[in-house]
């Protein structure tokens, strides 16, 4: 087999495995959300919570740009999250015409509990892996994030804002599970 054909085959195999892992993570994430002690939120609402967690005080227009959604849709999403007690709206300090959005303590708690359940589910699987495989996974995911041009300064390797994480694993080794 020619080297370029082998490389192309390796990329295709990696893409297949990554797709399978993504599907497994989606199932695990939904299980974690369904076990929430409070009313679960939709995927769109969860995206809003993640954005507000990393960009405290964002306005509706900027949130809409990040979501790629119309202002009326964003406003309805925030209405529902506010009704759940997860989001609060406040007048902007810089402009009377703008409204700032923030997570409330219950919203922050919901995200923290959700992340803890998800991390626990991942750790159960990672504990069954040999250390060398965990190290390779950490290196591979780090390379994947780099290739995807992921802004690791804003979001950590575990998909959590830096303020929510404990320590980096980007050095090529994972903490033992």
For residue 68, the domain's CATH number is: 1.10.10.10
pLDDT digits (tens, 9 = 90+) for 48-65: 999 999 999 999 889 999
- Domain of 66 in residue numbering reads as 43-107
In a domain, 118, yes or no: no
Q: In what order do the strands lie in the sheet with 99-103?
A: 58-59, 99-103, 87-91
- DSSP-based three-state secondary structure for 60: helix
Number of domains in the chain: 1
pLDDT digits (tens, 9 = 90+) for 66-122: 999 998 999 999 999 999 999 999 988 887 788 899 999 999 999 998 888 888 888
Q: For residues 147-169, b (16+ Cβ closer than 10 Å) or e, as one string?
A: eeeeeeeebbbebbbeebeeeeb
């Amino acid at each position: 087999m020619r080297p370029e054909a082998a490389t192309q085959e390796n990329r295709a195999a990696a893409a297949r495995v990554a797709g399978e892992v993504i599907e497994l993570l989606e199932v695990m994430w939904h299980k974690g959300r369904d076990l929430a002690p409070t009313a679960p939120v939709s995927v769109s609402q969860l995206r809003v919570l993640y954005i507000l967690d990393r960009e405290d005080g964002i306005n509706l227009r900027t949130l809409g740009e990040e979501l790629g959604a119309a202002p009326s849709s964003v406003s309805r999403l925030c209405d529902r999250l506010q009704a759940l007690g997860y989001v609060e709206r406040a007048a902007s300090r810089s402009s009377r015409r703008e409204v700032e959005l923030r997570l409330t303590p219950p919203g922050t708690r919901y995200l923290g509990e959700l992340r803890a359940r998800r991390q626990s589910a991942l750790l159960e699987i990672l504990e069954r892996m040999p250390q060398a495989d965990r190290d390779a996974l950490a290196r591979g995911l780090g390379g994947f994030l780099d290739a995807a041009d992921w802004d690791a300064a804003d979001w950590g390797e575990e998909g959590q804002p830096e303020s929510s994480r404990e320590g980096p694993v980007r050095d090529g080794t994972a903490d033992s599970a």
